[in-house]
Amino acid sequence: MDKSPVLRVAAIGECMVELQERADGSVSQAFGGDTLNTAVYMARLGQRLGRFVHYVSAIGDDPFSSAMAEFWRAQGVDDSLTMRRTGRRPGLYFIKTDAAGERRFFYWRGEAAVREAFECEGSDALLESLASFDAIYLSGISLAVLRPASRERLLVRLADLAAAGKTIDFDCNYRPLLWEDVATTRAVYERVFGFARRVLVTVEELEVLGVAPHPAAGAAHFRPLTQLEVVIKDGAKPCTLIHGGQVESVAATCIPQVVDTTAAGDSFSGAYLLGRMLGLAPAESARRAHRVAGAVVQHRGAIIPAEATPDVYATETAADRP
């Protein structure tokens, strides 16, 4: 029997219907989205803690939405805080992957149910429910897909929760096509940095913040912000950790053959944040997160088979843990 969870995590964002081109030209269908991917890996790595990860979103009343929610539950993610909106549909994206394993995304999300998630019927109760969680995770995509009114309501609520002592974790995940312009993106990100506790950002995304795109410049930018714990992700290169005025570098797991980089960063984020929630130091959390991401890039699609995911927190989540 699962032990009662020692923590509760809310992941806010959008899940979409995923289509992926296979080597033979056929297409496979699954479900994915940055925060959903992170939620799945977090739930999978902490499965001994019970169903502690909840997905906060909005989907439609169509068969794809129903199958999507069923998939979340099968992956150990609670869907009870995801609103079902009559007559709406989820977004869709198509992945094309080149010979080196790098992928390109093509999106159809203009009428996605999540876009007004925090200004429609039921949103007041949804925002209020966030107070029951220990940590709240969201990304730049979570904010970018929202209409301005929904985005503003969510930001105000998160700032209030942070002031009340809740942990807000933010993954920058910048997608330029989703934002009005770079200035808006930068203003929103800086606003989140003002109340977040942990921030994850890629080297490439530093440029959006007006910082030279290399780890040293990122470390110099974030080091004075001592209230923040920052992880600068750099693909297969070492990640850079900035916390308490200190800067550390943690090497990535060496992978000789990359198949597909989809969800590598999302899985890293889920593993890293869970490690920190379990009380591990930033560097140790990053080492284990690299192992998980290293396994993910050896499989196609965002969510790899459960048995292929390294159980990096087996000791920390064991039933007889201290």
Which position has the higher pLDDT, 318 or 200?
Answer: 200
Q: What is the mean pLDDT of residues 155-161?
A: 98
* 66/55 Cα distance (integer angstroms): 14
The pLDDT tens digits for 268-278 are 999 999 999 99
Angle at which helices 264-277 and 282-296 cross, to 10°: 150
| pLDDT surpasses 50 at 206 | yes
User: Which residues participate in catalysis according to the annotation?
Assistant: 266
Of the candidates 223, 219, 163, the one whose C-alpha atom is nearest the C-alpha of residue 196 is 163
The pLDDT of residue 320: 57
pLDDT band at 2 (very low <50, low <70, confident <90, very high): very low
| pLDDT surpasses 80 at 97 | no
For the entire predicted model, the pTM comes to 0.93
The pLDDT tens digits for 112-153 are 899 999 999 999 999 999 999 999 999 999 999 999 999 999
Using an 8 Å Cβ cutoff, are 85 and 59 in contact?
yes
The pLDDT tens digits for 14-42 are 999 988 888 788 998 889 899 999 999 99
Q: What is the mean pLDDT of residues 262-290?
A: 97
The pLDDT of residue 109: 85
